[in-house]
Amino acid sequence: MLCPCADKKESFVLYQSDKKNNKNNEIDVRCTSETHNKPTLYKCKKCNLIFSEYLNFNFEEAYTNVKDEKYIQQISFKKKNFDLFYSKIKSFLNKNHKVLEIGSYYGVLGNIIKSHVKNYTGLELSKHAAEYSRKNFMLNITNEPLNKFFQKNILFDVIIMNDVIEHLDNPFEALNLIEKNLRPNGILIFTTLNMDSIVPKIMRSKYHWIMPMHKYYFSNSTLRYFLKANNLDIFKIKSDTKLVSVEYLLFKLCILIPKIDFIFKFLLKFNFIKKIATKVNLFDLNIYFAKKIK
């Protein structure tokens, strides 16, 4: 398979899938997806980009129709998680900034940010999530594809993508559009997994973040390469600690380790578990800060 990057170089099979999803509509693209079948992953022989066998599948319609009730049930914990995330990015935000969040989902981060900046806009494909954000958080949410939105040529001081770039149908086009819609010295803040970190190297094809809805898998070096090609320079990288409910963590472990899921299911019977939050950091997820090059 040819690499989707500009050079279109040959790739090789990095990890072979042992299960197949044959149709686009079988892939669960919710944030709280219960589908963890591993797709075949390819790696470019030149740029080292890793990408999925579902590279040419268009997920846009699937994202448009997403209704993630399990995420809504976890909103209180999501707020705690995004409070932690905000504490790591707040030094790059101020009352003079015009901010865009790509993939704003149910508006939890936007609700935290909006009072600290001049103007906040959320861009979200899910109609359900966009409406929830407007109704519950009074956010300015645009429900349309990224390339259509950027045709408006609105300039932003800061653009944020939280766990989004690995889902995009065309992240290279997205980076190009982001750069064009950032003011001089504007900042892109985004999160994604680092395939060169220890955990994915140890777990290899069993790595928990390899899933059908993730199309692209980056390393620090591939991200620097693709951002630099789009006039963006990574100047800071921070580890992205997540704060999740123990209930949700056990739910995920049931899916990831089915051979001992009876242990996790037993623990889930205790109601007090639902009230506990825990920090998780395997040092495989990063927050990247990139500045538009003059």
Instruction: Write down the residue that tokens 């993508």 correspond to.
Output: 161
Task: Report the percent of the chain where pLDDT is more than 90.
Answer: 74
Return d(Cα 143, Cα 128) in angstroms, integer: 10
Instruction: Write down the residue that tokens 């030149």 correspond to.
Output: 46
Classify residue 119 by its DSSP letter.
E
Q: What is the pLDDT of residues 203-247, one digit of tens each?
A: 999 999 999 999 999 999 999 999 999 999 999 999 999 998 888
The confidence score (pLDDT) of residue 20 equals 54
Listed in sequence order, the residues at least 6 apart from 151 whose beta carbon sits closer than 8 Å to its beta carbon are: none
Listed in sequence order, the residues at least 6 apart from 244 whose beta carbon sits closer than 8 Å to its beta carbon are: 74, 77, 81, 277, 278, 280
CB 66 within 8 A of CB 129: yes
Query: By C-alpha distance, which of 228, 230, 204, 229 is closest to 217?
Result: 204
Report CA-CA distances (Å) from 173 to 5, 7, 10, 58, 272.
10, 14, 20, 15, 46
Rounded to two decimals, the pTM is 0.93
Of the candidate ranges 32-36, 53-57, 88-92, the one whose mean pLDDT is the lowest:
32-36
Q: Which helix (H) or strand (E) holds 186?
A: strand 182-193
